[in-house]
């Protein structure tokens, strides 16, 4: 990809109101564009990162035997009345149709998936079943911050599992928890599993939190239980088992998994015929990851004062090639030819290259853009490197530079 063609270019200065690293660098680098409070467009560079994150999640969901589907954002009011969440879901967006009736903009999809699965499954032979989607969610959040950590429209992977008994749900739930830690690791994050309240569904749920000062949540580690607790489960500085806790740490919730049990299968009368010939309620679990929040969290953890430092698996491009042309016309031609042949060789080997081919920009400016965009491998081809028939390679993670023969 030629940087001269890329929409849009990085801005010279960071947005004034940026309160966090993700708001600052994602906007300045041209990864995202704010449309209104809590609503962003994902621009070509940002979409490449988001797609890589989504594909890591897809791979791990498929490895769990889950199948991908896509459900609508527009959801019938009646389904939300069935679960008593039309009034009960605080941040639900409600729409009136011109042809009559009302609908919800989906903040989550239990109200769709439960009756949907009910339309197709009959017996224990159809279970277990796991279905997921990666889709935009809508929540009329009261407090949105600049940046993609908390949006009113945001990306989520939501997985739903259906089981014939609680034991099967427990086993699958633990497999998903393991898979989540792997996903976050692949995204360059050390997430911790945190015990949290189970909401209206069960006693506990598990959150996956990344410790960072920019997080909104506070989590506490219990030395005796050897687990982290969410602040909702901490009273008077003690965990649910009565142990005294250390000081809390700020963290971002990147995932949350729940044992729903029969909460939604009761509401929608989701049943199956068991081996013993008896009708039973399907046991359910649900498992979310905030995909756009995850990208924001990656930036919160992986940046310095010059810009982003993308972890290897989620880089927008593998390589950032900078041509430093100088003024001499002959040299400009020579450097350009060397760059294009290097680019072709890399691309035919499957390497994704962003090539800063601009002729009207100083070396300093190109370096600053490279640091801001945060691609791991920066390659420089200039008069100096060509004098040794070489390229200069700099690693954004380590800052180390080396020369290599062309």
User: How far is Cα of residue 341 from the mean position of the Cα atoms in its chain?
Assistant: 35
32 binds, among ligand ATP, Mg ion, none (CB under 5 to 8 A by kind): none
| Dist CA 173 CA 194 (whole Å) | 14
**Closest to ligand ATP by CB, 143 or 275:** 143
**Closest to Mg ion by CB, 263 or 320:** 263
- Could you tell me if 297 and 212 are in contact, meaning their C-beta atoms sit under 8 angstroms apart? yes
376 scored as a contact of Mg ion (CB under 5 A): no
151 scored as a contact of ligand ATP (CB under 6 A): yes
CB of 170 to ligand ATP, least distance (A): 20
- Could you tell me if 283 and 128 are in contact, meaning their C-beta atoms sit under 8 angstroms apart? no
256 scored as a contact of Mg ion (CB under 5 A): yes
CB of 155 to ligand ATP, least distance (A): 8
**Closest to ligand ATP by CB, 37 or 63:** 37
| Dist CA 216 CA 247 (whole Å) | 15
**Closest to ligand ATP by CB, 250 or 306:** 250
CB of 237 to ligand ATP, least distance (A): 22
**Span from 2-10, 250-258, 298-306, 393-401 in contact with ligand ATP (CB under 6 A):** 250-258
**Closest to ligand ATP by CB, 292 or 302:** 292
Please give the structure tokens belonging to residue 346: 């890399």
Residues 220-249 that bind ligand ATP (CB under 6 A): none
As separate numbers, helices (DSSP H) first and strands (DSSP E) second, the chain gives 11, 23
Q: Cα 44–180–305 angle (5° rounding)?
A: 50
Name the DSSP letter for residue 9: P
Give the DSSP per-residue string, 59-126: HHHHHTT-EE----SEEEHHHHHHTTHHHH-TT-EEEE-TTS-EEEE-SSSHHHHHHHHHTT--BGGG
CB of 298 to ligand ATP, least distance (A): 13
Please give the structure tokens belonging to residue 39: 């609503």
Residues 292-331 that bind ligand ATP (CB under 6 A): 292-293
CB of 205 to ligand ATP, least distance (A): 8
154 binds, among Mg ion, ligand ATP, none (CB under 5 to 8 A by kind): ligand ATP
Torsion angle of the four alpha carbons 36, 41, 46, 49, in this order, in degrees rounded to the nearest 10 = 100
| Dist CA 334 CA 346 (whole Å) | 18
| Dist CA 239 CA 245 (whole Å) | 7
**Span from 146-154, 159-167, 342-350, 378-386 in contact with ligand ATP (CB under 6 A):** 146-154
156 scored as a contact of ligand ATP (CB under 6 A): yes
48 binds, among Mg ion, ligand ATP, none (CB under 5 to 8 A by kind): none
Q: Which residue is nearest to ligand ATP (CB)?
A: 290
Q: Cα 20–23–28 angle (5° rounding)?
A: 125
**Closest to ligand ATP by CB, 30 or 255:** 255
75 binds, among ligand ATP, Mg ion, none (CB under 5 to 8 A by kind): none
Q: Work out the number of other CB atoms within 10 angstroms of the CB of residue 240.
A: 15
| Dist CA 305 CA 21 (whole Å) | 9
255 scored as a contact of ligand ATP (CB under 6 A): yes
With CB under 6 A as the contact rule, the residue among 31, 132, 138, 154 that binds ligand ATP is 154
**Closest to ligand ATP by CB, 154 or 325:** 154
Q: How big is the site for ligand ATP, counted in residues (CB under 6 A)? A: 15
| Nearest CA among 128, 125, 150, 146 for reference residue 137 | 150
Site of interaction with Mg ion (CB under 5 A) = 256
Site of interaction with ligand ATP (CB under 6 A) = 108, 139, 141, 150-151, 154, 156, 253-256, 288, 290, 292-293
């Amino acid at each position: 990809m030629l940087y001269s063609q890329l929409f849009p270019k990085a801005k010279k200065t960071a947005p004034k109101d940026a309160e966090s690293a993700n708001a600052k660098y994602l906007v300045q680098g041209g990864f995202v564009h704010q449309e209104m409070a809590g609503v962003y467009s994902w621009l070509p560079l940002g979409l490449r990162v988001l797609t890589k994150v989504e594909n890591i999640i897809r791979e791990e969901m498929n490895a769990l035997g889950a199948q991908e589907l896509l459900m609508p954002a527009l959801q019938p009011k009646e389904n939300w009345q069935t679960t008593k969440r039309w009034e009960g879901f605080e941040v639900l967006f409600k729409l009136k149709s011109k042809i009559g009736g009302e609908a919800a903009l989906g903040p989550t999809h239990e109200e769709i998936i439960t009756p949907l699965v009910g339309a197709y499954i009959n017996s224990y032979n159809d279970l277990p079943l796991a279905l997921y989607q990666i889709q935009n969610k809508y929540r009329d959040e009261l407090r949105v911050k600049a940046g993609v950590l908390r949006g009113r429209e945001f990306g989520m992977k939501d997985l739903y599992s259906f089981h014939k008994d609680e034991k099967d749900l427990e086993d699958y739930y633990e497999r998903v928890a393991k898979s989540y830690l792997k996903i976050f690791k692949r995204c360059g994050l050390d997430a911790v599993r945190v015990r949290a309240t189970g909401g209206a569904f069960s006693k506990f749920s598990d959150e996956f939190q990344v410790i960072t000062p920019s997080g909104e949540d506070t989590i506490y580690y219990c030395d005796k239980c050897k687990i982290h607790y969410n602040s909702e489960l901490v009273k008077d500085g003690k965990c649910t088992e009565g142990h005294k806790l250390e000081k809390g740490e700020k963290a971002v919730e990147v995932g949350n998994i729940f044992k729903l049990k029969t909460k939604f299968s009761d509401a929608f009368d989701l049943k199956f015929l068991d081996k013993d010939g008896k009708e039973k309620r399907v046991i359910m679990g649900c498992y979310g990851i905030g995909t756009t929040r995850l990208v924001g969290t990656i930036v919160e953890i992986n940046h310095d004062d010059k810009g982003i430092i993308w972890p290897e698996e989620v880089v927008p491009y593998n390589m950032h090639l900078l041509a430093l042309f100088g003024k001499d016309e002959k040299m400009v031609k020579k450097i350009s030819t060397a760059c294009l042949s290097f680019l072709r060789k890399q691309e035919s080997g499957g390497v994704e290259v962003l090539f800063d081919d601009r002729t009207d920009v100083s070396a300093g400016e190109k370096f600053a853009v490279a640091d801001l965009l945060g691609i791991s491998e920066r390659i420089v081809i200039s008069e100096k490197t060509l004098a040794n028939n070489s390229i200069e390679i700099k690693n954004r993670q380590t800052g180390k530079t080396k020369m290599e023969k062309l």
